[in-house]
Amino acid sequence: MKKQIATAAAPAAIGPYSQAIKTGNLVFVSGQLPIDAATGEMPAEIKAQTRQSLENVKAILAEAGTSLENVVKTTVFLADMGLFGAMNEVYAEYFAQPYPARCAFAVKELPKQALVEIEVIAAC
């Protein structure tokens, strides 16, 4: 059985998908762009964008009854691998050992010309 997770504390889904789906003891959070849910604005630089994406993930996980501490896997999409170091600095502020498994790679383009998008899988 799956349950849709939605919160106004993160940007609403802009297509036929959910912010997250909870099934069993796992939560699958859709890729989060660095959009501030309150203003609809996106920061300009990679560190602020990474922080906003992770804050959006954090809000969705809280709605699902879990937290960043329970994240087991992340996927980070970058507009350019040259942004990896700066993204990684901020990412390290949000996760502690044992770190989640992670995949990070550059894509041709992200929605709304974002520099980063982050999706996670967390345990409940």
Where does 2-123 sit in CATH, by number? 3.30.1330.40
pTM assigned to the model: 0.97
pLDDT in tens, 72-95: 999 999 999 999 999 999 999 999
Burial of 101 (0-12, 13-18, 19+ CB in 10 A): exposed
How far apart, in whole angstroms, are the C-alpha atoms of residue 13 and residue 28?
A: 14
Please, are residues 25 and 124 in contact by the beta-carbon 8 Å criterion? Answer: yes
- For residue 118 the two structure tokens come to 């982050």
pLDDT in tens, 22-74: 999 999 999 999 999 999 999 999 999 999 999 999 999 999 999 999 999 99
